[in-house]
Amino acid sequence: MAQSFLISPDTRVRLSDYDPSYAGGYKRKADTKDELKRNVERLRELQEVMWAEGKHALLIVLQALDAGGKDGTIRHVMRGVNPQGCQVTSFKVPTEEEMDHDYLWRIHKATPRRGYIGIFNRSHYEDVLVVRVHQLVPQEVWQARYEQINHFEKLLAASGTTILKFFLHISKEEQKERFAARLADPRKNWKFSLKDVKEREHWDDYTRAYEDALSRCSTPWAPWYIVPANHKWYRNLVISQIVADTLGKLDMRFPSPLPDADKIVIPD
Ligand code: AMP
Ligand code: MG
């Protein structure tokens, strides 16, 4: 996988420069199966050390337009991970209590503790995405948030949390096909929402809002990756690889063995 997908800090992102159908030379799902399996296994092993050591935390942020594949990513990439050491939080429309606090309040509470992998299915970025597109707060309020978010993420990073942020990039045509598939299959009907179809009308506004978030909030301590996501199998391969590589670079080890483990007698 030669391409990096990492957005360097201060890059001016234009999403039209990124091909959502890119698949790195792979032709079909079967071509990526073994590699995905290896990554999932690597992740399983790394997470066990992370859990045992209890020193580092990993936060994975997933953002995408509707039907972008956030749920599928979690299902496929995290399938080897011990559920006990992993916590998924899906951020919905804020509750009344959440609304009565600053927008990072609910986010901060959900960040992973040491030893854990935390996955955000949507995140604080909604506060510069849906909130901006629908003008839920005045412009000067959301404008100030990019800097606040960078500071917040810096605090997390300085406290032992490794942060990876993935934007799952699909095309407008692919979204239409996925909505249609949800309608066509009775077992997928539950995923279909007229609200999502309505949101689609704001595609261009969302594109601009995403471009700003990706441009302004990819930092050395909390990088954004733009993942080509029209092909679900390639998306899974890319994300599993980045997560495993990132964990692999952390200096993690099992706690030192007991010096006299062989001398301890366990009574019958
Ligand atoms: P879903 O991911 O399909 O369950 O939908 C969750 C909904 O909550 C999406 O329409 C999001 O845009 C919305 N949402 C998430 N966070 C916020 C927020 N901070 N403000 C307003 N809407 C939000
Ligand atoms: Mg939805």
CB 261 within 8 A of CB 254: no
pLDDT tens-digit series, residues 129-177: 999 999 999 999 999 999 999 999 999 999 999 999 999 999 999 999 9
Atom in ligand 1 nearest the alpha carbon of residue 134: 21
Q: Look up the pTM and report it.
A: 0.97
Going by pLDDT thresholds of 50, 70 and 90, the confidence category of residue 227 is very high
Residue (of 141, 129, 153) closest to 211 by Cα position: 129
CA 142–ligand 1 middle distance (angstroms): 16
Which SS3 state, helix, strand or coil, does residue 47 take? Answer: helix
Sheet containing 86-90, strands listed edge to edge, beginning at the edge strand earlier in sequence: 86-90, 117-121, 57-64, 161-169, 224-228
233 pLDDT exceeds 80? yes
Which SS3 state, helix, strand or coil, does residue 179 take? Answer: helix
Ligand nearest to the CA of 91: 1
pLDDT tens-digit series, residues 29-49: 999 999 999 999 999 999 999
CA 210–ligand 1 middle distance (angstroms): 15
Burial label, 239 (beta-carbon count in 10 A; 0-12, 13-18, 19+): buried
Which amino acids bring their CB within 6 angstroms of ligand 1? 91-94, 122, 126-127, 130-131
Looking at residues 12-32, what average pLDDT do you find? 97
Mean residue pLDDT of the chain comes to: 97
Res 3: pLDDT: 62
CA 70–ligand 1 middle distance (angstroms): 13
